[in-house]
Structure 1
């Protein structure tokens, strides 16, 4: 018996439309909240299943074939129809309520997210937040959590979401130890006492830098928490790399160099595909994405900013 024809799913159309719009796989991956390798693999699977090429690969990017153009056009119509359907239901939707489980790590919670969570709960008083701390990957498929807020360059392929910002890292020291600012000869910093995350965080680029460029006997203090790292620098134990959204808020610390692009990490808002249309999940993701985009200067270290939810910032400006 011949194999049954391949059934094209909506996510297939969405992926093809994203590639047609962006003309490159990395840009398409960012549009739909997946990583580059996942988009490449799924495109190959779709083309193989349909038995036809959907794109020609040129130097200028991915160009649709007639079949790809037809599929992208159909995706555009579907997207338009779905948006219209959603708008029609908006007035009848039940007010989002219930418990929302969010997993993140301690440094993000304490230094960045808690004021934003508070603002969200004031806007949505019928939603209760259950926050789970840890760096380990929880199984969102089994509802260990509904939403994950993670600093990572490799989000799990089985989750969907959006990249909200790039977390900038820079070298900091205690301000009292550098009253005239960073030394003119940056090479002298290698002779200072250093603090660092321990080998458990060996995948971090800042940890790899310290391991490679700083003599082992100069690294006098290691630990497994970013919050503790900031406390150590502030106590004068040594100099060390910190996320800019932590270091720039502490008046006792001083930057010893600009943020290093190579050390930055993506900040992701993630959920399971089956949960992304749940009203309370969608509302939470939209709110957090908006707030984190507003705080990008602080998170990315390009300018100092204050952690203040948008509603409070608007109130301050009006007073």
Structure 2
């Protein structure tokens, strides 16, 4: 009897997780079931797939060949799914969208609410993440992403420039910013651009907190832990904060809406990207750190 896809997926999971216990948890089975499956598979093949070491399960050459085959199968299946979705002609079905948490909390929800009213047959799964998800693997179908250089493997459009400036609490006076305590994004945010900027502005012993989300960074500045760089579209609207500098060009990024080329003609992808672009257009001054009617009155 030939091997099925589940056998390859099982071996890949054991290799990725480094052992049966973690692999079983990942697959939703118990340890004894995973042990029996691996034993039966090795018996069927007449070859060991893993070396059982104290540090974990390490694939043998045969096991590594199965892992590589699993990767190829997974890539082929994902490619087929993208192309199948790309041929859809009606705006319906599930749409996986990824966006930064700060953008979703500040601006995106009303835009999505309007979209849901216009296209009730489309069901959105929203994935909030500061890191860039892999659209080629269909971790998401559409990404709303702040980037200076989006991947050449993706297609989409630039929506706006995103300005960043230094902010502090609105109820405090600041004279010498370098002598103040700072908070900083950690190096995982935007490839470390903002962490490097904060490090250049203040010595390491003045950085009181590092955090891996922009939303958390804004909360830390508002709490008075320290001053720090924040996106103007969010921080300017927060009455607990005030700008301590103009926008810093070296921190500027662009906001993009992106998808994989295989998906760009899919009806639900196309109408979503058009909707986002239309909704963001009047918000460009806010993203670019320019005065926006209504915000000044709130301050």
- Give the TM-score normalised by structure 2: 0.65
- Give structure 1 regions of 4+ aligned residues with deviation exceeding 4 angstroms: none
Measure, in 2, the Cα distance between the counterparts of 1:191 and 1:247. 22
Q: In angstroms, what is the RMSD of aligned CA positions? A: 2.0
- Give the TM-score normalised by structure 1: 0.61
**CA shift digits 1:146-194 (9 cap, x unpaired):** 101111112111110001011110111101113xxx64xxxx1111111
**SS state of the match for residue 149, structure 1?**
strand
1:305 to partner: Cα distance = 5.4
2:126 maps to which residue? 131
2:183 maps to which residue? 195
2:143 maps to which residue? 148
- Residues 222 and 190 of structure 1, relative CA distance in 2, 3 Å threshold: same
1:145 to partner: Cα distance = 1.5
- Residues 142 and 213 of structure 1, relative CA distance in 2, 3 Å threshold: closer
**CA shift digits 1:1-29 (9 cap, x unpaired):** xxxxxxxxxxxxxxxxxxxxxxxxxxxxx
- Residues 216 and 281 of structure 1, relative CA distance in 2, 3 Å threshold: same
**SS state of the match for residue 103, structure 2?**
helix
In structure 1, runs of 5+ residues without a counterpart are 1-92, 308-319
Aligned residues of 2:131 and 2:190 also touching (Cα < 8 A) = no
Measure, in 1, the Cα distance between the counterparts of 2:252 and 2:218. 17
1:212 to partner: Cα distance = 1.9
Q: Does 1:216 align with 2:204?
A: yes
Alignment coverage as a number of residue pairs: 208
User: What is the 5 A alignment of 1:249-260?
Assistant: 249-260=237-248
Measure, in 1, the Cα distance between the counterparts of 2:190 and 2:287. 22
Aligned residues of 1:165 and 1:267 also touching (Cα < 8 A) = yes
1:241 maps to which residue? 229
**SS state of the match for residue 126, structure 2?**
strand
1:226 to partner: Cα distance = 0.7
2:282 maps to which residue? 294
In structure 2, runs of 5+ residues without a counterpart are 1-87
2:117 maps to which residue? 122
1:95 to partner: Cα distance = 4.8
Measure, in 2, the Cα distance between the counterparts of 1:197 and 1:263. 12
- Residues 202 and 97 of structure 1, relative CA distance in 2, 3 Å threshold: closer
- Residues 275 and 297 of structure 1, relative CA distance in 2, 3 Å threshold: same
Measure, in 2, the Cα distance between the counterparts of 1:144 and 1:217. 38
State which of 148, 154, 162 in structure 2 corresponds to 1:159: 154
User: What is the 5 A alignment of 1:77-96?
Assistant: 95-96=90-91
